[in-house]
Amino acid sequence: MTQPMIGELPLLIFDGDCGFCTWSVRQARRWVQPRARIEPWQLLDLDSLGLTSEQCCESVYWVSGQASVLNAGRAVAAVLKSGRAPWPAVGRLMDVRPLRPVVNRAYYLVASYRHRLPGATPACAPG
C-alpha cells in the first residue's frame, strides 16, 4: 500500500473502478497537468489517511499535508489550482466561498450521472 509522506506532493484520490473517474483523471493529467500524485483509492492505505472506501466511492479527495483533506468540488478546485495556466484561476474562482455550494452541487450532479458519461463502466452505476 502506498501513502503520502510529509513533504510529498498533494494526493488526489479517485475511484479506480469507475471508468468515468479514470477517464476524468486522464483528462486532468493531459490538460491541467496538476502538481500532485493521483492514485486510485484501491491502492492506498485509507486508514492512514482517515478515509473509508465508502467515502472514496462517493467523492474524489485531495489530501495535502497532515490536516488538509478536501472532497468533491473543493478537491476539484484544488486540482485545478495546482495545474498549469489558465487552470489555477479557474480553481480559485471555484473555491470562492459563495460559489462553493454551487460547485459542490454541480459535482454531485455529475457524479449521480457518471454511469451515462464518457468512459463509464458498470462500477459507475448507482448502487
Q: pLDDT tens across 8-19, in order?
A: 899 999 999 988
The rounded distance, in Å, linking the Cα atoms of 76 and 88 is 11
Phi, psi dihedral angles at 101 (to 5 degrees): -60, -35
127 or 83: whose pLDDT is higher? 83
The rounded distance, in Å, linking the Cα atoms of 60 and 14 is 5
pLDDT in tens, 78-114: 999 999 999 999 999 999 999 999 999 999 999 999 8
pLDDT in tens, 27-86: 999 999 999 999 999 999 999 999 999 999 999 999 997 668 999 999 999 999 999 999
As given in the structure block, the three cell numbers for residue 104 are 459542490
Q: 10-41: b or e for each residue (b if 16 or more CB lie within 10 Å)?
A: bbbbbbbebbbbbbbbeebeeebebebebbbb
* Range 16-25 average pLDDT: 91
Entry pTM: 0.89
Q: Is the pLDDT of residue 6 over 80?
A: no
As given in the structure block, the three cell numbers for residue 74 are 473543493
